Amino acid sequence: MPRILLVRHGEVDGAQLDAEGWWGPARDFSPLSAVGIEQAREAGRELRDSGARHIISSPMTRALQTACLIAAEAHLPLTAVEVDLREWLPDATLSWRTEEALAAVADFHLHGGEWPAGETRTWEPQSSVRRRAARALQRHGAPFIAVSHGMLIESLTGDAGIEHCGVRELNQLPALDAGPTFLPEPAT
């Protein structure tokens, strides 16, 4: 498989959303901080000679802003916004607060990213993240850069704790299986 460079978004500035009391998926409107902007620009400069031909991105503000800054610095076109490159879902109710999301992350890691046998959780299993990410990446001609999120990159590489604007190379996608992709239940 041709080369894919996975990039985590830059550092986020959630101050305005914190001040206004935004929570759950509304947190995904957070832009990059000044540090995050510089991280993205530096990543773009470093990726200029990567051999990538284009960039794709998660639709979430932090990833899309990072992708735009990398594209400008690397002189590459941003060719697609892929919904399936979105962040891991910590709670299918779409009503989480920061503390609840952190607890979901801890439970996720405690159980190796998968629900315990015979149990369900409100968080998205790693197999679902991997499945949708692989599906999104297969739609594009490599070599390319994909800007996304830490949990998604972890699901593809096994590398936990990737730093902001960290780059991981992916030379082979996981095999696609017919399993389900985790989606939130509609509110009743």
Please list the pLDDT of the chain residue by residue as tens digits (188 residues).
Answer: 358 999 999 999 878 877 887 777 777 888 999 999 999 999 999 999 999 999 999 999 999 999 999 999 999 999 999 999 999 988 887 777 888 888 998 999 999 999 999 998 999 999 999 999 999 999 998 899 999 999 999 999 999 889 999 999 998 877 766 665 665 554 45
Q: How far is 185 from 187, CA to CA, in rounded Å?
A: 6
- CATH architecture of structural domain 4-170: 3-Layer(aba) Sandwich (3.40)
Strand partners, 55: 78, 145
Q: How far is 149 from 147, CA to CA, in rounded Å?
A: 7
- Domain extents for the chain? 4-170
Which residue is it, tokens 């990833």?
63
Residue type, 159: D
